Amino acid sequence: MLKNYRDDFPTLSGDHPPAYLDNACVTLKPQSVIDTIHRYYTETPGCGGRSVHRYGTAVSKSVSEARNKLARFLNAPSPNEIVFTRNATHSINQVAHGLTWEKGDVVLTTDREHNSNLVPWLQLEQEQGIDHRVVPSHPDNTFDMEAFEAACAEAGKNLKMVAMSHVGNLDGIEIPVAEVTKSLATTTPWWPSTVPNPHRT
């Protein structure tokens, strides 16, 4: 079965295929993605959503189809809830710097965040006076739900954002998203989430 997956990735073929573990930096691309990117540059090099010539129309159609497929795959209520960005770093920066903050607004993260989900909050703490707080993990690095709930209670009405990686990029440890979401139901802070599929495969 593993060979079938490896066969999809040209970079994992050859006489001495690597055991590639650096997905946090760059996730390898399967041949189907490489082919699609090549086809875009050679057959339909247009701007989707803004150009009305045939290339732009073809790209718009492809993007719409991809958004619909992803919505079904993720069980999203609507394709309009699917947003494409360059990567998770870009996404979290758009969220962090796109909202209006007040001094004392609380943002919770875990103690195991990638720099992409740590640096923006540290910057906002210095620049705008938000209160970045860290929820500690259990000694075995698993998520501590009691510590999280205590941090939420302590923040009270000042809790504006819970920004946590669903799956750790270093060890694959997952946060119980359903439990976290349920515990936030009455406080309604922002709770951005990125898709963890590359770290699960």
Examine the domain organization and report whether 182 and 108 are in the same domain: yes
Last residue of a domain, which of 39, 54, 81? 81
Q: What is the CATH number of the domain that holds 195?
A: 3.40.640.10
Among 81, 99, 119, give the residue marking a domain's end.
81
Residues 120 and 147 grouped into a single domain: yes
Same domain, 74 and 37: yes
Looking at the structure, do residues 77 and 31 belong to the same domain, yes or no? yes
Can you give the pLDDT at residue 35? Answer: 96
Q: Are residues 156 and 180 in the same domain?
A: yes
Domain containing 161 equals 88-200
pTM of the model: 0.74
Q: Give, for 131, the enclosing helix (H) or strand (E).
A: strand 131-135
Q: What is the pLDDT along the chain (201 residues), one digit of tens a residue?
A: 667 788 899 998 878 888 888 876 788 999 999 999 999 999 999 998 899 999 999 999 999 999 999 999 989 999 998 988 888 889 899 999 999 999 999 999 999 998 999 999 999 999 999 999 999 999 999 999 999 999 999 999 999 999 998 888 778 889 998 899 888 876 666 665 555 555 454
Same domain, 64 and 114: no
The tally of domains found in the chain comes to: 2
First to last CA, the chain: 13
